[in-house]
Amino acid sequence: MEDCLNVLLKRRSIRSFKEDPVPDEIIHKILRAAQYAPSSWNRQPWKFIIIKDKQKLKKISSFLPYGKFLSNAPLAIAIISSEKESDLWLIDGSAATENLMLAAECYGLGTCWIAESDNNEIKKILEIPEEYHIITITPLGYPASKPRIPERKNIEDITFSEKFGLKYFKND
Ligand SMILES: Cc1cc2nc3c(=O)[nH]c(=O)nc-3n(C[C@H](O)[C@H](O)[C@H](O)COP(=O)(O)O)c2cc1C
């Protein structure tokens, strides 16, 4: 229990990476964890694209306004989800993404959710069929440094009892 919670608390968004390659066995294990995410009617509408080609990573990062650092990682994984397979493709794909990121943390690997990844130019580069949306493209690699923990809101301020606004936990 302790170890599991620690993984959740220790995960940080990583934006700088060592050059060390990530073994395929580990990539496989991380994707297996992603695959075990819950999905509506167990439809599993996701697919994964592993991107290692440096030129491709650089080109993709040029279309990511907040993800220029993508090309500094040894590889990236695009998590894509099909609107034909599930009307809840965004939620399903997001659950898989979070599982993937937490599993990566278990192996000492860094990831970062990058917004605005569902871009037509990027879809063209990766030859992604029309019906798929890109949930995100996360870099994957061993962190070059561990960033400070971005502050969280107080549990006391965001948890209510029976109705909105009535605090469940009292502030000290
Ligand atoms: C939907 C979503 C989109 C995000 N987009 C970006 C992004 O484009 N670029 C980036 O550097 N971080 C992005 N992040 C990472 C957040 O900035 C980060 O999760 C937040 O600051 C908390 O930090 P932590 O992940 O280290 O706990 C995104 C996170 C989520 C969940």
Domains annotated for the chain, with CATH where assigned, are 2-145 (3.40.109.10)
* Nearest alpha carbon, ligand 1 atom 22: 150
* 14 in contact with ligand 1, CB cutoff 6 A: no
Quick: pLDDT tens for 7-21.
999 999 999 999 999
Structure tokens at 134: 């890109």
| Rounded Cα distance, 21 and 73, in Å | 9
* 66 in contact with ligand 1, CB cutoff 6 A: yes
pLDDT at 154: 96
Contacts of 34 (CB under 8 A, 6+ apart): 46, 48, 79, 96, 97, 99, 100, 103
Note if the pTM is more than 0.75. Answer: yes
pLDDT at 146: 85
pLDDT at 158: 98
Judge contact between 99 and 106, C-beta under 8 A.
Answer: no
Dihedral sign, Cα of residue 58, residue 17, residue 20, residue 26:
negative
| Rounded Cα distance, 106 and 32, in Å | 13
Which of 102, 114, 133, 135 is the pocket-test mutation for ligand 1 (most atoms within 8 Å of CB)?
Answer: 114
* 143 in contact with ligand 1, CB cutoff 6 A: no
Please report the atom of ligand 1 found closest to the CA of residue 150.
23
For the chain, give the number of residues. Answer: 172
pLDDT at 1: 57
Contacts of 102 (CB under 8 A, 6+ apart): 7, 8, 11, 33
Show the low-confidence residues of the chain (pLDDT under 70). 1-2
* Nearest alpha carbon, ligand 1 atom 1: 115
Identify which of 7, 13, 1, 3 has the alpha carbon closest to the alpha carbon of residue 146: 13
- Render 101-161 in DSSP notation, one character per residue: HHHHHHTT-BB---SS---HHHHHHTT--TTEEEEEEEEEB-BSSPPPPPP---HHHH-BS
